[in-house]
Amino acid sequence: MSEQRLSADGMYYWDGKQWLTTLSPDGRSRWDGWRWVPLPPMAAPPVYRPVPFPVMQKPARVPTSWTRPLQYAVAAAFGLWGLYSVSIPFWMSGTMDSYMRQIALRQAAQEPQIYPDPNQYADMMSGIGTVSLVIGVVIAVAIAAVVVIGAFKRWTWLFWAVLALLALQVVGLPFQVASALGAFSGLTPGLSTPTAVTWFGVVVGLAAAALATWMVVAALTRGPWAMRRPSGAQ
């Protein structure tokens, strides 16, 4: 048997004809020229563990002395508005029915070829007026319910939504006053609301203005729902 020679790096040996690997087929031993030497266990390759990027989170807002009163005021205002909306069909349905019938009969008289049966058309228009009142009540009650729930849960988006609704009420306040003074009485003959209801709308507009002012001051000085961040927080 010819002498076996190892390569300089010890990875191969010469068997007299060719260079062969010194590593055993199972990869656990190495031939040193005389015997098989067990190899030490391979260390597991290092696992890359990314370092999490520090995220600066703003501390949560905390209630102030204004928070709970503001919640109650918003919830009470929209709760009363929801109840008021429910009452509208009881005192407005008769006026709406008369107004829609007047319009239908006037149109039927002007275009008899289109409306051969004026009474049937009047009944249809009366039904449309009643359905419109019911749909308006459903929408108003749904909005009131969402606002009441959101006020107690202090939803931030709802704070700004309520402020927008109150702003619309404030913008319409001059028209409410003008309507209460009879400025628009001739625009919709037959569809006049009771005087008490008109002046109630003025009172509601003034209350909306006061509540909106409070919410704006609370947002500017403390934050939504009058909740501010802890002292020293950025």
pLDDT classification of 223: cutoffs 50, 70, 90:
very high
- What's the confidence (pLDDT) of residue 160? 96
Which helix (H) or strand (E) covers residue 200, if one does? Answer: helix 195-221
Check pLDDT > 70 for residue 189: no
| 113 in any annotated domain | yes
Which of 8-17, 41-50, 81-90, 137-146 comes out lowest in average pLDDT?
Answer: 41-50
Q: Is residue 100 a part of any domain in this protein?
A: yes
At residue 64, does pLDDT exceed 70? yes
The answer to whether the CB of 98 falls within 8 A of the CB of 190 is: yes
User: Cα 92–95–96 angle (5° rounding)?
Assistant: 80
Beta bridge partners of 14: 5, 19
**Range picked from 142-146, 176-180, 229-233 for highest mean pLDDT:** 142-146
What pLDDT score was predicted for residue 107?
Answer: 83
83 domain residue, yes or no: yes
For residue 47, tell me if it sits in a domain: no
pLDDT for position 130 = 85
Residue 190 vs residues 92, 94, 102, 148, 199: alpha-carbon distances, Å: 12, 11, 8, 35, 19
DSSP 8-state secondary structure symbol assigned to residue 225: G
- Report yes or no on 125 lying in a domain: yes
pLDDT in tens, 53-63: 666 677 788 99
Instruction: Say whether pLDDT at 211 is over 80.
Output: yes
Instruction: Answer yes or no: is 181 within a domain.
Output: yes
Residue 214 falls inside a structural domain: yes
CA 94 vs CA 5, 86, 122, 131: distances in Å = 115, 15, 14, 13
**What is the distance between the alpha carbons of residues 141 and 148, in angstroms, rounded to a whole number?**
10
In the chain the first and final C-alpha atoms are separated, in Å, by 83
Let me know if residue 109 belongs to a domain: yes
Q: What is the pLDDT of residue 55?
A: 65
| Cβ neighbours of 224 (radius 10 Å) | 20
Residue-level pLDDT at 183 = 67
pTM of the model: 0.65
Q: Residue 163 has what pLDDT?
A: 96
**Range of the structural domain that residue 176 is part of:** 67-225
Q: Tokens standing for 221?
A: 């000085």
Collect all residues with Cβ–Cβ distance below 8 Å to 111 and sequence separation of at least 6.
none
Half-sphere exposure of 150 (CA within 13 A, CB side): 18
Based on the structure, what is the number of domains in the chain? 1
